[in-house]
Structure 1
Amino acid sequence: MGRNRFNQGDGPTQRQLRVGELIRRTLSDVLMRGDLHDPDLAGVSITVGEVRVSPDLKVATAYVVPLGGKGQDEVVKLLARNKAELRRMVSKELTLKFAPDLRFRVDETFDRLDEARRLFSSENVRRDLDD
């Protein structure tokens, strides 16, 4: 069954996924190289776990976490403060009609993985799995 612009309830389109991944890679490269002119972000290692793009490709939400997980909220605020410069850098790399508005959120995937590991290592769960 073909997808059209009215059928958005099935999750992201291939185009949204492709653009999100391109933005993720570009943001990762920019942050890794330290291209931003903000001394507060100098030397901070930030992982961009995922970028979700709106159906119209005008809003991109980047899920980020600093190395070690410390100061997550502060890193999100610093990135938001620099979003105009980051948007300009991303738009230089991508060939989109419009540069998406960048938003930043804490990537909680790692926390959920830690919680899942903790649950699977609990004695009750291991006993149930062995049965």
Structure 2
Amino acid sequence: MAKNKLHTGQGPSQRQLRVGELIRRRLAEVLARGDVHDPELNRMSITVGEVRATPDLRNAVAYVMPLGGRQAAEALEALNRNRVELRRVVVKGLALKFAPELRFELDDTFDRIDDTRRMFDQETVQRDIAARHEDDDEA
């Protein structure tokens, strides 16, 4: 197979992004419908924020968060316990050469957004932003 000469290796390729998004949609659909035979997992409402596939597409990490952020450890444990069945059900609807191994990690995006908001609310940061706007207005 020819190498993609346009891809410099500094980020995920278009193929990785496409496969990750396909897996994310399918995984979210499977979790929403309760296609897994685990009543504990089916009781939880889990958001799949992102799925990152490795360059060889044999592994994928799904970043998940239960609704409201409650019972995160229990949700992660239930997902890992049902990893094999989830892999089977998710890949069934996709046309991939290999079924990627699924790993689950908690999605900390919302925590980082909250940290960023807190940072922008700090008085020193607000002062710096106001000073920059004054400099832009004068120019």
Q: TM-score, normalised by structure 2?
A: 0.86
Which residue matches 2:135?
none
Which is richer in helix? 2
8 Å contact from structure 2 (residues 31, 42) kept in 1: no
Which residue matches 1:29?
29
Residue identity (%): 59
Distance in structure 2 (CA, Å) of the matches to 1:84 and 1:110:
28
Distance in structure 1 (CA, Å) of the matches to 2:29 and 2:74:
20
Q: TM-score, normalised by structure 1?
A: 0.91
Offset, 1:124: 1.8
8 Å contact from structure 2 (residues 119, 125) kept in 1: yes
Counterpart of 1:2, as a letter, is K
The ranges of structure 1 where at least 4 consecutive aligned residues each deviate by more than 6 angstroms after the TM superposition are none
Secondary structure in structure 2 of the residue aligned to 1:31? helix
Counterpart of 1:36, as a letter, is V
Secondary structure in structure 1 of the residue aligned to 2:42? coil
State how many pairs are aligned.
128
**Equivalences for residues 1-131 of structure 1 within 5 A:** 2-3=5-6, 8=9, 10-131=10-131
Task: Give 5+ residue unaligned stretches, structure 2.
Answer: 132-139
Deviation per CA, 1:98-120, whole angstroms, max 9, x where unpaired?
11000000111110001001111
Task: Give 5+ residue unaligned stretches, structure 1.
Answer: none
8 Å contact from structure 2 (residues 45, 67) kept in 1: yes
Deviation per CA, 1:6-28, whole angstroms, max 9, x where unpaired?
x53x1111100000000000001
Offset, 1:3: 4.2
Distance in structure 2 (CA, Å) of the matches to 1:41 and 1:90:
15
Distance in structure 2 (CA, Å) of the matches to 1:56 and 1:84:
19
Distance in structure 1 (CA, Å) of the matches to 2:122 and 2:41:
38
Offset, 1:34: 1.5
Offset, 1:42: 2.3
